[in-house]
């Protein structure tokens, strides 16, 4: 193993792009990411036509059994990476504990200090993959705290590579995927169970996103739904924006960090739908919803979809009485929000499935107000 100083191996030198090597998938994960890694690898075939480099944050005190563990979940070959090793398709190369890993014409391992508090550093690996593989590099960022991987995803996107991030709503720790979705241009935001299948599609040809919703698509002569996000937690706003950015029939027109700003911006920005947190400063989401739906001077006030951690019946009833057209719990997947926005835009009332199962919410599900 090499023992270069950090100043030598962090220098963004021009590396020759491999001419005969396979495509390279770099998977970055940290806290809570192991379960997602398992789901991604479990569906990939033994003849998967790309090499996979796994950068999983873990301390040197942890047993070096990760390759053996992953091998029980996948048909791919799994092993610790070795310095100077040539990449081969159908192999998962796990960065050993205490090391950093980069990609040139081969894998390079470097003993060095933590970079931005983590080792191995995902940004380091992803940037090297962007230089060496250009548009044949793919980035996958799974559950993890912090923002490691975001700048690397930006580098991958800038050279034409594909960036996939785990739906932050399905993460134990959404920091890494939310940050990557914000910086990685046109990132695909997917639940972990879909990422493996999409990787296989990408090996066969360019990714084709789902067709826009027919009732709202630009191809039908209608403008995209204008969405205002209202939440006082930055991580939620980042995750929601990253999700909705990939929807062709939706446009995030602004963000509000408190209830009063939500009321003002819904009018100023002519929002069609406001995604509203309930517990916010200055003005709570219930009162803000009431003011939005009763706003004077707008022929069609914005629809409100509540997105809250509260699940008790009283809170749901209060915001529906205030005029909300939908209610989602933050325990549901972020992808359900897309369904809710389309439903309320079409004049329907949308409730999380777990709420609809309660008989007292049956009326609300059919459009009846309490």
pLDDT in tens, 139-163: 999 999 888 998 999 899 888 899 9
- 25 — pLDDT class (breaks 50, 70, 90): very high
CA angle (194 as vertex; 333, 72 as ends), nearest 5: 110
Higher pLDDT, 104 or 28: 28
Same domain? 147 vs 176? yes
Integer Cα distance of 62 and 101 in angstroms: 18
Same domain? 77 vs 176? yes
Distances (CA, A) of 112 to 1, 115, 131, 318, 352: 11, 8, 21, 55, 48
In a domain, 293, yes or no: yes
Same domain? 166 vs 282? no
**Does pLDDT of 234 surpass 50?**
yes
Owning domain of residue 135? 9-204
**Does pLDDT of 9 surpass 50?**
no
For 105-156, the DSSP string reads SSEEEEE---BTTBSS-HHHHHHHHHHHHGGGEEEEE-S-SS-TTHHHHHHH
At residue 206, the pLDDT reads: 56
Integer Cα distance of 62 and 208 in angstroms: 40
Q: Per residue in 257-305, pLDDT tens?
A: 999 999 999 988 888 999 999 888 889 999 999 999 887 555 578 899 9
- 211 — pLDDT class (breaks 50, 70, 90): very low
Q: How many domains in the chain? A: 2
Joined together, the tokens standing for residue 248 give: 């062709």
Q: Give me the CATH number covering residue 108.
A: 3.40.50.180
Joined together, the tokens standing for residue 122 give: 């995902």
**Does pLDDT of 370 surpass 70?**
no
Q: Which residues are catalytic?
A: 30, 57, 148
Same domain? 65 vs 168? yes
At residue 228, the pLDDT reads: 94
In a domain, 287, yes or no: yes
At residue 222, the pLDDT reads: 44
Same domain? 186 vs 241? no
Same domain? 164 vs 224? no
Same domain? 75 vs 126? yes
* Average pLDDT of the residues in 321-348: 83
261, 237 in Cβ contact below 8 A? no
Lowest mean pLDDT among 9-13, 14-18, 88-92, 136-140: 9-13
In a domain, 211, yes or no: no
Integer Cα distance of 91 and 285 in angstroms: 49
**Does pLDDT of 236 surpass 60?**
yes
Q: 15-24, 118-127, 353-362: which has the highest mean pLDDT?
A: 118-127
Residue at a domain's end among 160, 178, 204: 204
Among 200, 206, 203, which Cα is nearest to 44's?
200
Among 324, 354, 351, which Cα is nearest to 339's?
351
Same domain? 243 vs 358? yes
In a domain, 213, yes or no: no
Q: Give me the CATH number covering residue 245.
A: 3.40.50.2300
pTM exceeds cut of 0.85: no
In a domain, 1, yes or no: no
Higher pLDDT, 36 or 12: 36
Give percent of the chain with pLDDT exceeding 70: 79
In a domain, 4, yes or no: no
* Average pLDDT of the residues in 168-183: 84
Q: Per residue in 238-254, pLDDT tens?
A: 778 877 877 778 888 89
Integer Cα distance of 37 and 40 in angstroms: 5
CB proximity list for 46: less than 8 A, separation 6 or greater? 75, 76, 90
In a domain, 48, yes or no: yes
In a domain, 212, yes or no: no
**Does pLDDT of 67 surpass 70?**
yes
Same domain? 287 vs 338? yes
Residue at a domain's end among 136, 169, 204: 204
340, 353 in Cβ contact below 8 A? no
**Does pLDDT of 207 surpass 80?**
no
At residue 316, the pLDDT reads: 85
CB proximity list for 280: less than 8 A, separation 6 or greater? 230, 231, 232, 257, 258, 259, 262, 288
Q: Per residue in 69-104, pLDDT tens?
A: 899 989 999 999 999 999 999 999 999 988 999 998
SS3 call for 69:
helix
Q: 11-15, 80-84, 213-217: which has the highest mean pLDDT?
A: 80-84
Same domain? 189 vs 243? no
Joined together, the tokens standing for residue 186 give: 């046109």
Higher pLDDT, 317 or 46: 46
Same domain? 270 vs 309? yes
**Does pLDDT of 19 surpass 60?**
no
List the 303-308 sheet strands across, edge first: 250-256, 225-230, 273-276, 303-308, 326-329, 350-351
Residue at a domain's end among 141, 171, 204: 204
* Average pLDDT of the residues in 298-313: 80
**Does pLDDT of 235 surpass 50?**
yes
Strand (E) or helix (H) holding 235 = helix 234-244
Higher pLDDT, 10 or 338: 338
Same domain? 143 vs 23? yes
- 125 — pLDDT class (breaks 50, 70, 90): very high
């Amino acid at each position: 193993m090499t023992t270069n100083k950090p100043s030598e191996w962090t220098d963004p030198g021009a590396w020759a792009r491999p001419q005969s090597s396979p495509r390279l998938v770099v998977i970055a994960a940290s806290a809570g990411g192991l379960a997602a890694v398992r789901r991604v690898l479990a569906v990939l075939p033994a003849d998967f036509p790309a090499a996979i480099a796994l950068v999983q944050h873990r301390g040197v005190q942890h047993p070096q059994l990760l390759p053996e563990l992953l091998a029980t979940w996948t048909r791919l070959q799994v092993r610790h990476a070795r310095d100077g090793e040539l990449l081969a398709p159908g192999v998962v190369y796990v960065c050993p504990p205490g090391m950093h890993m980069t990609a040139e014409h081969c894998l390079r391992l470097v003993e060095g200090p933590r970079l931005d508090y983590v080792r191995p550093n995902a940004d380091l690996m992803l940037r090297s993959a962007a230089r060496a593989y250009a548009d044949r590099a793919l980035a996958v960022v799974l559950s993890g705290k912090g923002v490691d991987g975001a700048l690397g995803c930006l580098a991958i996107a800038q050279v034409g590579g594909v960036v996939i991030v785990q739906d932050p709503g399905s993460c134990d720790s959404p920091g890494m995927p939310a940050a990557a979705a914000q910086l990685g241009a046109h990132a695909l935001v997917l639940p972990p169970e879909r990422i493996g299948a999409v990787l296989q599609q990408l090996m066969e040809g360019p990714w084709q996103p789902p067709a826009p919703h027919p009732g709202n698509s630009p191809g039908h002569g209608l403008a995209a739904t204008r969405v205002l996000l209202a939440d006082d937690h930055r991580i939620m706003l980042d995750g929601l924006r990253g999700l909705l950015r990939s929807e062709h029939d939706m446009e995030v027109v602004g963000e509000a960090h408190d209830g009063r700003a939500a009321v003002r911006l819904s009018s100023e920005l002519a929002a069609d739908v406001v995604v509203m947190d309930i517990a916010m400063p200055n003005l709570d989401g219930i009162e803000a919803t009431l003011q939005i739906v009763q706003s004077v001077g707008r022929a069609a006030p914005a629809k409100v979809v509540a997105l809250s951690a509260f699940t008790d019946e009283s809170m749901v009833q209060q915001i529906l009485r205030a005029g909300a057209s939908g209610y989602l719990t933050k325990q549901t997947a972020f992808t359900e929000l897309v369904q809710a926005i389309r439903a309320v835009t079409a004049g329907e009332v949308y409730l999380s499935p777990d709420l609809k199962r309660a008989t007292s919410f049956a009326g609300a599900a059919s459009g009846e107000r309490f």
